[in-house]
């Protein structure tokens, strides 16, 4: 490029940079069952490091929620994000998983006293039309928030869920299966899907095709930040055999909240219901319209994910 052309384009480039830096951040709440599968912790890592997010809080759902909350508190502390509060949802069992040991003695940061459902309702009303609720676990907290405020959908900008299976998954092509976050708390899932919320789902139809490759894991582990070191430790606690590889279910939902539609080749508007067995069914008569993300762009997403964790600018 000639110097004269460069000088001509420089003001345009600077204006674009300023506009990008001044763009308001997306206010999000991350609702997670961190500590069982490994993708939840890594999804929280993405939410922490993404500079386009204003992470209002982390809500903990399903199972042994007090123990799960310790993992979230410690991960936020390690990443230097004590400003992000953690809220505990209702406890549904006392099960313990390997990742719990990483934070079992952590007490430097405590969860907030307010319940997860109360926080969701209060945050949505404090920022009407601005909050994206990202749910990557069973839907107990969101259902409880709806029980407290049936008009919750009027206050939320979006609800992005890692949830459901419409047509089939990589391990069940052409045959829908029950998705974990739905059938673990089917009654709550039915309430959430029936509520008329502005829902986008990232289902198994997409997420089951995106696994962490060894070069991607190596790139993140070698970054050597306190956060990526912690994620690698949690990954090792999660492993049960040398062949285990993380499927990036929850990270895809977080990425959809960050840049809607960027990592999927197709989006369908479908009328969905959750049946009594926990299947996500198309039902044009009874279903509520849900935006469904299909055809994951795996390579583009993985580059985005790895770059955000290793060079969060």
Set out the domains of the chain in order of their start, with CATH numbers. Answer: 26-310 (3.90.245.10)
Give pLDDT, residue 313. 57
Q: What SS3 string covers 72-122?
A: HHHHHHHCCCCCCCEEECCCCCCCCCHHHHHCCCCCCCCCCCCCHHHHHHH
Average model confidence (pLDDT) across the chain: 93
Model confidence band, residue 251 (pLDDT cutoffs 50, 70, 90): very high
> What is the distance between the alpha carbons of residues 150 and 53, in angstroms, rounded to a whole number?
26
> What is the distance between the alpha carbons of residues 310 and 228, in angstroms, rounded to a whole number?
8
Q: Which of 280, 255, 259 is nearest to 270 (CA)?
A: 280
Q: What average pLDDT does this structure show over 215-236?
A: 97
CA angle centred on 243, ends 293 and 41, rounded to 5°: 50
Give pLDDT, residue 289. 98
- 152-197 pLDDT, tens digit per residue, is 999 999 999 999 999 999 999 999 999 999 999 999 999 999 999 9
> What is the distance between the alpha carbons of residues 22 and 43, in angstroms, rounded to a whole number?
25
Q: Could you list the beta-strand ranges (E) of 118-171.
A: 131-135, 156-162
Q: Is the pLDDT of residue 7 over 90?
A: no
Query: Measured in whole angstroms, how far is the alpha carbon of residue 242 from the centre of its chain?
Result: 26
């Amino acid at each position: 490029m000639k110097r004269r052309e460069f000088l001509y384009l420089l003001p345009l480039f600077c204006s674009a940079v300023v506009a990008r830096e001044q763009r308001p951040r997306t206010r999000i709440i991350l609702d997670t069952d961190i500590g069982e599968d490994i993708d939840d912790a890594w999804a929280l890592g993405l939410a922490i490091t993404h500079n386009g997010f204003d992470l209002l809080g982390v809500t903990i759902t399903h199972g042994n929620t007090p123990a799960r909350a310790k993992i979230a508190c410690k991960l936020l502390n390690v990443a230097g994000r004590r400003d992000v509060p953690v809220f505990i949802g209702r406890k549904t069992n006392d099960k313990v998983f390997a990742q719990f040991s990483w934070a079992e003695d952590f007490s430097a940061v405590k969860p907030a006293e307010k319940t997860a459902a109360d926080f969701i309702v209060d945050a949505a009303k404090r920022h009407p039309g601005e909050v994206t609720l990202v749910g990557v676990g069973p839907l107990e907290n969101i259902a409880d928030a709806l029980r407290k405020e049936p008009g919750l959908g009027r206050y939320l900008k979006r609800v992005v869920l890692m949830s459901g299976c419409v047509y089939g998954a990589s391990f069940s092509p052409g045959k829908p299966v029950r998705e974990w976050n739905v059938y673990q708390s089917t009654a709550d899932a039915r309430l959430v899907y029936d509520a008329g919320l502005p829902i986008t789902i990232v289902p198994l139809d997409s997420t089951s095709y995106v696994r962490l490759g060894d070069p991607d894991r190596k790139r993140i582990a070698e970054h050597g930040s306190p956060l990526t070191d912690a994620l690698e430790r949690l990954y090792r606690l999660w492993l049960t055999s040398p062949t285990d590889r993380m499927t990036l279910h929850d990270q895809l939902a977080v990425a959809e909240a960050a840049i809607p539609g960027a990592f999927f080749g197709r989006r369908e508007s479908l009328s969905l219901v959750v049946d009594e067995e926990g299947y996500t069914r198309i039902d044009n008569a009874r279903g509520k319209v849900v935006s469904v993300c299909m055809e994951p762009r795996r390579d583009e997403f993985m580059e985005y994910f790895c770059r955000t964790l290793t060079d969060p600018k």
